[in-house]
Structure 1
């Protein structure tokens, strides 16, 4: 662990280093706290989960919206430095078929960190019987072997939640 910290913090301007910013305001927790094995066992990627306090998803970095699910429950952004980030709002929320979600972007659109991507109704989703915990994953972890995730903290939109160092 100390090696990763030293490597990431010791050379502040290393080429390719990237921060993934919180796309949602709330409490950042480890993926192990997500009640879905695809996320908790890091099958789809590594990262953090956020228990949302506001029903907004903003771009976690500058990049391109590579996937916007038709059901609007998840969005993927490929950052300018090549990280493939997916933000998945809730568990099994694909079953809502887009109800309670509003998209503000289109697939293929270029975004800047902080641009509004989605809005969702937290209370309506909960009332429909779904958890709103939101995994924020780096899907191409093989390209970023040194990853530091900030969990156990309250985050506002655009607070750093994941720090990446690409493979050399």
Structure 2
């Protein structure tokens, strides 16, 4: 499956561009290069991975928690402007049963930009053979013209844009 909403350049016509900041600091990684075929093929929507050593995953925008999945080391969040994103740490983590995953939020919890969404023990995950990659995908990209990943090689949490949404 090819993700038709993943853009490689800015579209010629659009109403609005919204920059979405990085949720962790690190080196950007195209999802096409992920070992998990569901991410590589864009099944979970367009997005970007960040290879990181951060243990805290921060909110890229103000919003509300839709779901918390400790087994998957992930949260689903929705912004105040309707963007719905999945944020996951590591690729294949279900066999770890959520160990070393900490999240004080629950579905319905509101949060502010840069607040900690969840934390993991990145050293422990690496020891378990889990790559230290944090992935953010757009779950409702069908409502957009597209998603354009940053051209930067390295991003800083809360400062640099991870991708830009075009409406």
TM-score normalised by length of structure 2: 0.87
Aligned to 2:166: 165
CA distance in 2, matches of 1:77, 1:109: 10
Aligned to 2:145: 145
CA distance in 2, matches of 1:95, 1:2: 38
Distance 1:3 1:53, change over 3 A: closer
Shift of 1:140: 0.9
Aligned to 2:71: 71
Task: Indicate conservation of the 8 Å contact 2:55/2:119, yes or no.
Answer: yes
CA distance in 2, matches of 1:125, 1:70: 14
CA distance in 2, matches of 1:2, 1:44: 21
Shift of 1:73: 0.3
CA distance in 1, matches of 2:9, 2:99: 45
CA distance in 2, matches of 1:123, 1:2: 36
Aligned to 2:47: 47
Counterpart check, 1:127 vs 2:96: no
Task: Indicate conservation of the 8 Å contact 1:57/1:119, yes or no.
Answer: yes
Unaligned 5+ runs, structure 1: 9-13
Of 123-132 and 145-154, more deviation after overlay is shown by 145-154
Distance 1:19 1:96, change over 3 A: same
Equivalent residue of 1:71, what SS? helix
Equivalent residue of 1:49, what SS? strand
Higher helix share: 1
Aligned to 1:84: 84
C-alpha RMSD of the superposition: 1.8
Task: Indicate conservation of the 8 Å contact 2:10/2:148, yes or no.
Answer: no
Count of residues in Structure 1 that have an aligned counterpart in Structure 2 = 159
- Structure 1 stretches of 4+ with a deviation exceeding 6 A read none
Unaligned 5+ runs, structure 2: 1-7
